[in-house]
Structure 1
Amino acid sequence: MEVKILADSACDLPLEFYKENNVALIPLKVLIDEDEFEDLRTIKPIEVYDSIRAGNHPKTSQPSQLEFRNAFVELAKNKQQGIYIAFTSELSGTYQTAVMIHDQVKEEYPDLDLTIIDTKCASLGVGLCVMEAARLAKNNASKEEIIQDVKFRSSHMEHLFTVEDLDYLAKGGRLSKASAFLGGLLNIKPLLNVENGKLVPIEKIRGKKKLLNRIIEVMKERGTNFESQVIGISHADDLTTANEMKEKFMQEFHPREVIITSVGAAIGSHTGPGTTAFFFLNKLPS
């Protein structure tokens, strides 16, 4: 029996991926006004972006404890090995809750064989790790081999992204208010990344064209062996920029593949519409 991969919706992979690759989905929750939704299952990203444009401020919460319990108990009853590849603990309590529920279920089902990995990654940074883990599981790799691969990729995953308005991240507590500087002023665009699971501004750049060119430069500085890896792009209702950057990546780096996904409803509630993010490895597995 192949190893079961579990992932939360903050990895920003489409619902079809979970179904087609037998990956268990743990959805985060999105709250708009008084209505609560399950990311991917009962709300689409575009609904969140449209709500923000209409002046609403969606909130998010971690998956329900029952969602975790049901998934973990099913794993135990099936006597199946599992790996839960989690969104960074620095931006959500999802990982900590999963560990707590794991310990509770383990008391009831001592044979539960589940490893929970805090990737310290976000969005498609987690997603690329999940994609490779699912591929390895399908090819009957051992649990230890998959864990080693996930830990390597997550520790060498680069995140570069920009947002239309830093205030969204500041309001959601994901970025310090001191860092939410000059958002929107004089066509200043922020370039940010993820360091040890936290959102950190890198620099401010005037104009979108200069920003996108700068992203190419930073990728050249940080990346390696692009021809042997998959580059990820996630976007919040900005497919035009995503496709433009895909073309640039193909010309500059000749990667094995470039995949484009939508920033999900949970992540998008904090980044706002117009976000584009880019993911790649600074070192490849040997």
Structure 2
Amino acid sequence: MRVGLIVDSACDLPHEFSKKNDVFILPVTATIDHHTYIDDHNPEQTREFYHNGLLQKGHHAETQAFTPAQIHDLFMEKIVTQYDFAICETVTRSRSLVYQNATEAMNSVMVHYHTAREAAGVQGNFTMRVVDSKQLFAGQGLLAAHTLTLLDKKLSKNALRHEIETFTDKIYTCVIPRDLHYIRERARMRGDKSVSALVAFLGKALNITPVLFGRGADAKPVAKTRSFELAVEKVMNYAIGRIEAGLLTPYVCLSCGLSWQEIDTLPGLDRLRETCDQHGVELLLSQMGITSSIYIGQGSLCLALGAEPHTFSDFQ
């Protein structure tokens, strides 16, 4: 049975990792200064966006999920004839229409897939599942990496879905937003009240850089620092301590809304790399994608790992 994994553009993973493992990217439409782009994680396009400053504050930017009809056509063309079973893991449904639209598209595909497979000379039935990752950015990337390890176990479809959905509640993320006001304005555009005006005001008035921490998309402030560098040190210390205590999957995902030159000089990154090597953990380091950067703002950072229940302060 040929099994395919689909993620959307909010999922941050290294391009090489996605390509090596045949992870299919469900695009998201990005509109910047009234120009429309299709974010399909093309690394050259992403680098160009960073180089030209299109993801910086001051540009009007928003994202929009593909419609059910667009997703249906994409699945029929790219997925139905290539796989016998497909899993589509979407950004948390509480922050995006991708899950809803992908589910609607899946239902339509299940009615019409026979025609496409017969035309391509592919025998047998096709099935697929849409899963709400309950994650954003690196958290979604971690779930995808873990899913690939589960695929190697040749589990039944129901067992595989159960394992994936169970693991979503064991993913912890750290987010360092570079500009709380940017996040607040983006949230207001979506009707999301998760970032309060008070927190945004304090961040600007006192020059505070917070660390947000939690399971999935439910991250809350756990530390306030006077600089981005100090916040990064705290996150690196947390990740190193948690790796040494043990993880539930041998991956740590780290995505950064920075140039690669800036990423290479992040404080504590070398220590994190060394700790990963010592404990047989693969560090999935990537430049934050266009969709993620529009959502949280250029210059931000997101780290995700899978572990038993704990607090951020346990590893400070």
TM range (shorter): 0.7 to 0.9
Which residue in 1 is equivalent to 2:254?
Answer: 233
Q: Secondary structure at the match of 1:85?
A: strand
Q: Secondary structure at the match of 2:255?
A: strand
Amino acid at match of 1:57: H
Q: Give how far 1:17 is off.
A: 3.7
Change beyond 3 A, Cα 1:194–1:169: farther
Which residue in 2 is equivalent to 1:72?
Answer: 75
TM-score by length of 2: 0.77
Q: Deviations over 1:1-42 (max 9, x none)?
A: 321111111111244444332222101111012211111248
Which residue in 2 is equivalent to 1:214?
Answer: 234
Q: Secondary structure at the match of 2:66?
A: coil
Which stretch shifts more, 110-119 or 83-92?
A: 110-119
Whether 1:13 and 2:18 are equivalent positions in the alignment is no
**Inter-partner Cα distance in structure 2 for 1:21 and 1:261:** 16
Q: Deviations over 1:125-149 (max 9, x none)?
A: 1112212323443665543443233
Aligned residue among 43, 46, 49 for 1:44: 46
Would the aligned equivalents of 1:3 and 1:143 in 2 still touch at CA under 8 Å? no
**Inter-partner Cα distance in structure 1 for 2:19 and 2:216:** 30
Q: Deviations over 1:101-159 (max 9, x none)?
A: 22233334585411111011111211122123234436655434432332233211111
Which residue in 2 is equivalent to 1:151?
Answer: 165
Q: Secondary structure at the match of 2:136?
A: coil
Write the mapping of 1:129-140 to structure 2, written as runs, cut at 5 A.
Answer: 129-137=143-151, 140=154
Aligned residue among 100, 103, 111 for 1:99: 103
Identity value in percent: 21
Whether 1:181 and 2:201 are equivalent positions in the alignment is yes
- Structure 1 unpaired stretches of 5+: none
Q: Secondary structure at the match of 2:10?
A: helix
Would the aligned equivalents of 1:11 and 1:123 in 2 still touch at CA under 8 Å? yes
**Inter-partner Cα distance in structure 1 for 2:207 and 2:213:** 20
**Inter-partner Cα distance in structure 1 for 2:272 and 2:282:** 10
Q: Secondary structure at the match of 2:130?
A: strand
Amino acid at match of 2:301: T
Whether 1:279 and 2:299 are equivalent positions in the alignment is no
Which residue in 2 is equivalent to 1:171?
Answer: 185
Runs in 1 of length 4+ with deviation above 6 angstroms?
Answer: 220-223
**Inter-partner Cα distance in structure 1 for 2:86 and 2:35:** 32
**Inter-partner Cα distance in structure 2 for 1:234 and 1:164:** 14
Aligned residue among 51, 62, 66 for 2:65: 62
Which residue in 2 is equivalent to 1:160?
Answer: 174
Amino acid at match of 1:90: S
Aligned residue among 249, 264, 278 for 2:272: 249
What number of residue pairs does the alignment pair up? 284
Q: Give how far 1:188 is off.
A: 1.1
Which stretch shifts more, 189-198 or 70-79?
A: 70-79
Change beyond 3 A, Cα 1:52–1:135: same
Q: Deviations over 1:227-257 (max 9, x none)?
A: 9732221100154456533323245674422
Would the aligned equivalents of 1:26 and 1:67 in 2 still touch at CA under 8 Å? no
Would the aligned equivalents of 2:171 and 2:216 in 1 still touch at CA under 8 Å? no
Change beyond 3 A, Cα 1:202–1:93: farther
Write the mapping of 1:78-93 to structure 2, written as runs, cut at 5 A.
Answer: 80-93=84-97
Would the aligned equivalents of 1:37 and 1:43 in 2 still touch at CA under 8 Å? no
Which stretch shifts more, 114-123 or 167-176?
A: 167-176
